[in-house]
Amino acid sequence: MNGFDLSADVALGALASMHGEQSPEAARERYAIAVWCQLIEPGDSVAGRIIAARGPVAGLEAVLAGGPLPEVTARELAEARKRWLPRLSARAVAASLATAAARGVALVTRSDPSWPGQLDDLGPHAPLCLWVRGDVRALRRFEASVAIVGARAASRYGDHVAMELAADLASEGIAVVSGGAYGIDGAAHRATLATGGLTAALLAGGADRSYPAGHTQLIDDIAQSGIIASEVPCGSAPTKWRFLQRNRLIAALSAATVVVEAGWRSGSLNTAGHAAALSRPLGAVPGPITSATSAGTHRLIREYGAQCITSADDVRELLGLTPRTDAVTGVDAGRTGEATRVQDAMSTRSWRESTDIARRAGMAADAVEAILGLLRLDGSVETGAEGWRLRTAAG
Amino acid sequence: MNGFDLSADVALGALASMHGEQSPEAARERYAIAVWCQLIEPGDSVAGRIIAARGPVAGLEAVLAGGPLPEVTARELAEARKRWLPRLSARAVAASLATAAARGVALVTRSDPSWPGQLDDLGPHAPLCLWVRGDVRALRRFEASVAIVGARAASRYGDHVAMELAADLASEGIAVVSGGAYGIDGAAHRATLATGGLTAALLAGGADRSYPAGHTQLIDDIAQSGIIASEVPCGSAPTKWRFLQRNRLIAALSAATVVVEAGWRSGSLNTAGHAAALSRPLGAVPGPITSATSAGTHRLIREYGAQCITSADDVRELLGLTPRTDAVTGVDAGRTGEATRVQDAMSTRSWRESTDIARRAGMAADAVEAILGLLRLDGSVETGAEGWRLRTAAG
């Protein structure tokens, strides 16, 4: 048992007092999760299945006892034990908990009322817990949030767009999730804070560490009113693996992901892939085709069906919300009226020539033909040898 | 008969000699079409149906004779005669033919071998003829052409993109159609000429008139190696109606339409609507969402399913051609190899965990998960409670 006793460890008392546990069982479970965090890397589905089958305490005891476990294959368990057991150290767990206590980092688990249940959509890859700086109760407010992510080496255009989108959405009470990085992430966080909105930065390293170092002040500011969270324990370094796994948390915590700028190899495409794997809506902001930092977003639009995002209203639509804009401007206003007149002049039963429709609508035939073309694109009308007619809802 | 005699008009001889007619019947038909051009406005489907039923000569005689015509309703015919007959003037026809002869403008009809048959996809709205400056034989080379159109008040970005796309496509032998206007149209024509490619400018006014005036030299240059064409006779002014109808010719002459820049109310959206009405592929170039001249192209992408065009290769794909680029660069190269490895490690029958797939592929699980997300977006793989599997072609 490597000198480990889940019921007697010295850190248990400290942890219980820090979280005001109601019962020794709850404290033991939380401590077992802290131990698991020390053993595994994010997204370890072998651990996920053992814990799903047995809970964190019995699962850990079973792994330490060394016998076979039916929920995983013998080979998986043998490989996992090889990964996990060298990391088993009561001292390391105690150190991470002491750092957490010192830096005000809470350990939030699935048993906590503030647990954001949408993370469980990750199944066996779901995080066991979140280490959180800030007001943990705010975690529940991310169910209808939007992730705004993108290139670290963003252009001024990208920074501008990220700030405009975040400020607009945040001012409407939509929480903004990002990764705390330079570039798009930082712009989204800053604009959200500036408008008094709620933002969460999900970090790849421990929640006690400010990474990147140049964002120490920003991360402290976010913790003041929002959330700094990580699934790895305090003291953990941000590795490449943890960055990529952190991306799945960004996609899973938010209701939709918007990529503002991304190069061909941007990590944001990884976040987009996770959003897609979770069937969460995915949006991408277009930009100049001459800009390398928009190559990735155009690829998402072209090849992966990401919605083309041109405004905060488009993001609201992605989230399933009604666009805020009341005053429809430009061609939309014109089109609404004109399209209505054209459709009023049409029939679902009879085919009519465009000139006939123009006459009935009292409109110029040129305008009618263009509107018919556009109405056909959106499936409202159809054309045949004898002209045009309205499509029925069933058609 | 308003002093009109189709067999004896003085213009008939001149027209016959100009076109080297083989027979008096052919000369009479061509002359009748010249008369029709004088009577109607572009896209007049009542004329289209009469001529489809009777041919231009008998159709014109029947209209002049004044009796009922079964192919159109009495009301349609009465209204059409009211529109047409005030314009009936042998002198005007002779003048338009004289101008055509003086300016080297040929009258190309459906009976001519150089007639671009794709225009007939417009049905009763198809043009009766084209008045053409340039080498009429080149008309047939527009079957696989691309229309590159957009805002007159283009940005430097739009001008740049139009030139890059046109130059790249034209250098590969793809003909470029546009409207001869300032902005995107002019950039597309100029770049095509500069690379020795073939271009056609479809004008809203007569082919003898250089409109806009500032493009007189450009239009002359196009006529040198390419095509200046219009469906209205020489001497006709470019009216708003004729501009919009000209747009349908741009969409119908080319195999695909690409809008480079367009404002909310741009005439290019009208061209796009015509392309859609003809079921021709439609592409739109994205740009900064902060640019008013890209608002229309984003709308085409968001609302009307236009393909997002980021390169000449994307246009080739729109045309159904194989992209020229041999050297796949950036993430594509990486992804092709990695995606293949991931798919090789998967099964169509068994569900596998991503960690299992990563082990079989000998790849890092983080890379595998991101690739699985993207492969799911393009429908190659599917995910369930037990992991991932390849989708079959039928699935």
* Nearest-Cα residue of chain A relative to residue B356: A76
A309–B289 C-beta distance less than 8 A: yes
Cβ B116 vs Cβ B139: under 8 Å: yes
Residues β-bridged to residue B283: B258, B307
* Nearest-Cα residue of chain B relative to residue A308: B302
B245–A366 C-beta distance less than 8 A: yes
Residues 21-40 of chain A with CB under 8 A from chain B are none
Please list every residue in chain B whose beta carbon sits closer than 8 Å to the beta carbon of residue A43: 365-366, 369
Could you tell me which CATH class the domain B330-390 is placed in?
A: mainly alpha
A295–B330 C-beta distance less than 8 A: yes
Is B240 touching A (CB cutoff 8 A)? yes
B302–A307 C-beta distance less than 8 A: yes
In single-letter form, the type of residue at position B55 comes to: G
Q: Which of A355, A356, A371, A383 to mutate to test the interface with B (most CBs of B within 10 A)?
A: A355
Please list every residue in chain B whose beta carbon sits closer than 8 Å to the beta carbon of residue A157: 288, 290
Fold for B134-318, please state it: Rossmann fold (3.40.50)
- Among B270, B310, B371, the residue with its CB nearest the CB of A289 is B310
Is A269 touching B (CB cutoff 8 A)? yes
CA distance A63 to A116: 27
Q: Which of B259, B260, B310, B375 to mutate to test the interface with A (most CBs of A within 10 A)?
A: B310
Q: Which of B297, B377, B388 to mutate to test the interface with A (most CBs of A within 10 A)?
A: B377
Please list every residue in chain B whose beta carbon sits closer than 8 Å to the beta carbon of residue A355: 44-46
Cβ B381 vs Cβ B391: under 8 Å: yes
Is A372 touching B (CB cutoff 8 A)? yes
- Measured in angstroms, the CA of A363 and the nearest CA of chain B are apart by 12
Cβ A349 vs Cβ A359: under 8 Å: no
pLDDT at B372: 85
Q: How confident is the model at residue B184 (pLDDT cuts 50, 70, 90)?
A: very high
B264–A305 C-beta distance less than 8 A: no
For residue B8, is pLDDT > 60? no
B311–A269 C-beta distance less than 8 A: no
Q: Which of B366, B376, B378 to mutate to test the interface with A (most CBs of A within 10 A)?
A: B366
Q: Which of A155, A374, A382, A388 to mutate to test the interface with B (most CBs of B within 10 A)?
A: A374
Instruction: Report the C-alpha dihedral over residues A111, A115, A119, A125, rounded to 10 degrees.
Output: -40
CA distance B31 to B38: 11
Is A327 touching B (CB cutoff 8 A)? no
- Measured in angstroms, the CA of B309 and the nearest CA of chain A are apart by 8
- What would the pLDDT profile of B64-88 be if each residue is shown by its tens digit? 998 899 999 999 999 999 999 999 9
Cβ B165 vs Cβ B258: under 8 Å: yes
pLDDT at B341: 79
Residues 274-293 of chain B with CB under 8 A from chain A are 274-277, 285-290
Burial A15-29 (b: 16+ CB within 10 A, else e): bbebbebeeeebbbb
- What would the pLDDT profile of B306-324 be if each residue is shown by its tens digit? 999 999 999 999 999 876 6
- Measured in angstroms, the CA of B93 and the nearest CA of chain A are apart by 25
- What would the pLDDT profile of A20-50 be if each residue is shown by its tens digit? 767 888 899 999 999 999 999 999 999 999 9
pLDDT at B326: 44
For residue B49, is pLDDT > 70? yes
Cβ A252 vs Cβ A115: under 8 Å: no
pLDDT at A330: 34
Give the 3-state DSSP-derived string for chain B, with helices as H, strands as E and coil as C.
CCCCCCCCCHHHHHHHHHHCCCCHHHHHHHHHHHHHHHHCCCCCHHHHHHHHHHHHHHHHHHHHHCCCCCCCCHHHHHHHHHHHHHHCCHHHHHHHHHHHHHHCEEEEECCCCCCCHHHHHHHHHCCCEEEEEECHHHHHHHCCCEEEECCCCCCHHHHHHHHHHHHHHHCCCCCEEECCCCCHHHHHHHHHHHCCCCEEEECCCCCCCCCCHHHHHHHHHHHHHCEEEECCCCCCCCCHHHHHHHHHHHHHHCCEEEECCCCCCCHHHHHHHHHHHCCCCEEECCCCCCCHHHHHHHHHHHHHCCEECCCHHHHHHHCCCCCCCCCCCHHHHHHHHHHHHHHHCCCCCCCECHHHHHHHHCCCHHHHHHHHHHHHHCCCEEEECCEEEECCCCC
CA distance A221 to A219: 5
Q: Measuring CA to CA, how many Å separate A336 from each of A49, A332, B15, B222, B265? A: 54, 6, 48, 39, 13
pLDDT at A14: 58
CA distance A150 to A162: 9
Q: Is A131 helix (H, G, I), strand (E, B) or coil?
A: strand
Q: Measuring CA to CA, how many Å separate A304 from each of A79, A269, B242, B305? A: 35, 10, 40, 14
Please list every residue in chain A whose beta carbon sits closer than 8 Å to the beta carbon of residue B378: 303-304
pLDDT at A333: 35
- What would the pLDDT profile of B325-346 be if each residue is shown by its tens digit? 543 333 333 344 677 778 888 8
pLDDT at A376: 80
Please list every residue in chain B whose beta carbon sits closer than 8 Å to the beta carbon of residue A385: 123
- What would the pLDDT profile of B115-148 be if each residue is shown by its tens digit? 999 999 999 999 999 999 999 999 999 999 999 9
Pick the more confident residue, A337 or B179.
Answer: B179
Q: Which of A248, A290, A377, A378 to mutate to test the interface with B (most CBs of B within 10 A)?
A: A377
Is there a shared CATH topology between the B134-318 domain and the B330-390 domain? no
- What would the pLDDT profile of B225-254 be if each residue is shown by its tens digit? 999 999 999 999 998 889 989 999 999 999
Cβ B48 vs Cβ B39: under 8 Å: no
pLDDT at A395: 34
* Mean pLDDT score of chain B: 89
- Among B244, B307, B353, the residue with its CB nearest the CB of A45 is B353
Residues 132-151 of chain B with CB under 8 A from chain A are none
pLDDT at A324: 61
Q: Which residues of chain A have pLDDT under 50?
A: 1-2, 8, 326-336, 394-395
Domain positions in chain A are 10-99, 134-318, 330-390
Please list every residue in chain B whose beta carbon sits closer than 8 Å to the beta carbon of residue A366: 43, 240-241, 244-245, 270
Is A303 touching B (CB cutoff 8 A)? yes
Is A214 touching B (CB cutoff 8 A)? no
